Structure 1
Amino acid sequence: MDNFTYQRAGSLDEALALMAEPGVAAIAGGSNLLDLMKGGIARPCKLIDVSRLPWSAIEELPDGGLRLGAGVRNSDAADHPEVRVRYPLLSRALLAGATQQLRNMATVGGNLLQRTRCHYFYDDGFRHCNKREPGSGCDALNGFNRQHAILGTSEHCIATHPSDMAVALAALRARVVLRSQRGERVLPLSEFHRLPGDTPERDSEIAPDELITAVDLPHSTAGTHSCYLKLRDRASYAFALVSVAVALEVDDDGRVERAGLALGGVAHKPWRVEAAEQALVGRVPDRDAAAEAVNLLLAGARGHGDNDFKIELARRATLRAIARAAHSPAH
């Protein structure tokens, strides 16, 4: 680990002023950043501790939604009564991620800023990684790539985003609130994370001088018709091979009025396709409707050898998750 300085921010304004300096990084729980620093992947010259800022509240929004402060711990968000009742999809996704000890440290903002997962990226013994060193190549393309992406890939990177929470937030159409000294801006969660393209070193649209201050959940009536399904190699403390988040707003006749559908473990970001969601709208979410949605969701999926199985796994998992969301209370 390289030498660095540490400073605790006493206010948001102070934190934003410090973030405008070159070579700095914000730290709250540090559950991902410290791993990256220990491995020599991240090398900030200064850490700005934002864990004491007053952004650990969960508050009502005027539209009937909820605002999660960026400093809310994952465990607190999962256990909050309003989240559990109104957004059980999010609660279940949070509880599916990591261990209780990590959830007690990790924050909402930090969860979204996790770097994509790839053992070639995290181990600098592998020389070719475009995320670590742009232009060096991608060892995962022709290496062991069982955990890697099948959607939205490029010749430069096939890493996957690890967050369970972000997949649920994508299905719920959450918005990310960002602040810098230049002001505030709001991005849909679906636009916050990036596909690798020609710049795989950039995982998200956050600027170096910005902080996530909150995540907004819009009003939703999908609470009783939602499902988070996570398929992994072992029952706990493992990243998803494939995860599925489904949120259905259903009328009295059982027809879908609005659908949210997102996949995890398959792309550089939570994977949403609006056409797939629209395929469910106005229909009873039966097997035929679900199959049409899944075909649109997985259009263009491509394996890279060891992860070819993910395509069929994602198909079956999504069909199962839609059926569970449609016919029973939240899972």
Structure 2
Amino acid sequence: MKEFDYRRAPDVPGALALLDDRPDARYLAGGTNLVDLMKSGVERPARLVDVRELPLDRVEPTPDGGLRIGATVTNSDLAAHPEVRRRYPVLAQAVLAGASGQLRNMATVGGNLLQRTRCAYFTDTAKPCNKRAPGSGCPAVTGEHHNHAVLGASRSCVAVHPSDMAVALAALDAVVHYETADGPGELPLGWFYLPAGDTPHRETALPAGALITGLTLPPAPVAARSRYRKVRERASYAFAIGSVAAALDVRDGVVRDARLAFGAVASRPWRARTAERVLIGAPATARTYADAAGAELAAARPLPHNGYKVPLMHNLTVAVLSELTGEAAR
């Protein structure tokens, strides 16, 4: 591992100053992703700015009835928070599906948002990778890609985003808050992650040197009946090969509101807005759910070895929505 300078930030302005002083520095919270990438040589920061002790570790109600979640809230505390479990169960379920208890105790909300792909070509510095070394190529397109993207990919990158939490946040219209030397800012999650396009190394729309301070969940009555379902290749903790975050409001047999997002199928959490448009106002039936899934997945462009993801996501979507409908009927 390359030698690096370590500093502990005294406060948010101090953290920004420490990073501004060394543009090749990185913020460190739990380190569950960053430290692994440093060990493999993918990340080589000259300085780590420890932000773990900053006062950003609270989950609090917002004046409009939503929740504000601090960037250093651990994944364990987030999943266990009674208001998250009661009002946004899909988020608690996604966090619990994401990692072991030991990792959840260390990992933070801000770090989870910024975790990087687990594509084997990205993590192997002996291989070319446009995300790691722009312009070097994407060997996954013709190589090993059975876990890779079927939606929104490009010839420059077919890797998928690894976060479970971010999929639920996409369905919930979360807003990411950050601080820069020029003042605070915010980004809706739908704008936070950038499409792969021709610049897959640019993963988020965060300004250079920005520090994530937290996120807000807007009030969403539909989220009280929500679910996260993840498919993985082994029963123990593993990254998804497909996942669905869904929330459904059914009254008198008709879908009144719906939120839907897919995971492990694109370079970013995939908000299924086409499917939502099919669902809202339609009968709450398996046929409607199949039509909605089919409409969303019509845009899929699988590679030779990951076409299985299309029927997997179709069936998973129908199953999760059907389960939510069953709950609403009870």
Identity of aligned residues (%): 51
Determine the structure 2 residue equivalent to 1:316: 315
Question: Is the helix fraction higher in 1 or 2?
Answer: 2
Residues 55, 72 of structure 1: 8 Å contact kept: yes
**Do residues 269 (structure 1) and 268 (structure 2) align?**
yes
Is contact 2:32-2:107 (8 Å) kept? yes
Equivalences for residues 99-248 of structure 1 within 5 A: 99-126=100-127, 128-248=128-248
- Amino acid aligned to 2:104: R
Deviation per residue, 1:31-83 (Å, 9 max, x gap): 00001111111111111000000000000011111111000000000001111
Query: Hey, what's the Cα distance between the residues in 1 that align with 2:59 and 2:249?
Result: 23
Q: Which amino acid aligns with 1:14?
A: G
Q: CA deviation at 1:250?
A: 3.5
Shift of 1:254: 4.0
What is the aligned partner in structure 2 of residue 94 from structure 1?
A: 95
> Residue 247 of structure 2 aligns to a residue in which SS?
strand
2: CA distance, partners of 1:249 / 1:190: 22
Aligned to 2:62: 61
CA distance in 1 between counterparts of 2:224 and 2:326 reads 10
**1:292-331 CA deviation, whole Å, 9 max, x = no partner?**
22122212212212211111111111111111122217xx
Amino acid at match of 2:113: L
| Paired residue secondary structure (1:328) | helix
Contact 1:241–1:265 (CA under 8 A) maintained in structure 2: yes
Structure 1 residues 220-229 or 79-88, which shifts more? 220-229
**What amino acid is the match of 1:327?**
G
Q: Is the 8 A contact 2:250 2:284 kept in 1?
A: no
CA distance in 2, matches of 1:263, 1:177: 23
Gaps (5+ residues) in structure 1?
none
Structure 2 regions of 5+ residues with no counterpart?
Answer: none
Give distance in 2, aligned partners of 1:48 and 1:172. Answer: 30
Residue 71 (structure 2) pairs with residue 70 (structure 1):
yes
Q: What is the one-letter code of the residue matched to 1:292? A: D
Equivalents in 2 of 1:265, 1:163: separation in Å?
Answer: 8
Amino acid at match of 1:319: V
State how far apart, in whole Å, the 2-side matches of 1:261 and 1:184 are: 29
- Offset, 1:5: 0.1
Give the TM-score of the pair, scaled to structure 1.
0.96
| Structure 1 residue ranges, 4+ long, deviating more than 2 angstroms after superposition | 222-225, 253-258
Asked if the contact 1:57–1:72 (Cα under 8 Å) also holds between the matched residues in 2, the reply is yes
- SS at structure 2 position matched to 1:184: strand
Shift of 1:288: 2.4
1: CA distance between counterparts of 2:151 and 2:51? 34
Q: After superposition, what is the alpha-carbon deviation per residue over 1:266-297, rounded to whole angstroms, capped at 9, x for unaligned?
A: 00000113232122112232122212221222
Provide the C-alpha distance between the structure 1 equivalents of 2:151 and 2:92, rounded to a whole number of angstroms.
26
Return the offset for 1:224: 4.4
Structure 1 stretch displaced more, 276-285 or 239-248 = 276-285
Quote the Cα distance in structure 1 between the aligned partners of 2:212 and 2:159. Answer: 23
* 1:189-245 deviation line (CA, Å, top 9, x unaligned): 121112210001111111221011111111122244211110000112100000000
SS in 1 for 2:167: helix
Kept after mapping to 1: 8 A contact 2:89/2:225: no
- 2:302 maps to 303
- Listed one character per residue, the Cα deviations across residues 122-162 of structure 1 (whole Å, up to 9, x for unaligned) are 01122x21111111111101111111111101000000000
Distance 1:215 1:254, change over 3 A: farther
Q: 1:224 and 1:325 mapped to 2: Cα distance?
A: 11
Letter in 2 for 1:271: W
Letter in 1 for 2:159: A
SS in 1 for 2:270: coil
Q: Give the aligned CA root-mean-square deviation in angstroms.
A: 1.3
Paired residues of 1:19 and 1:208 also in contact (CA < 8 A): no
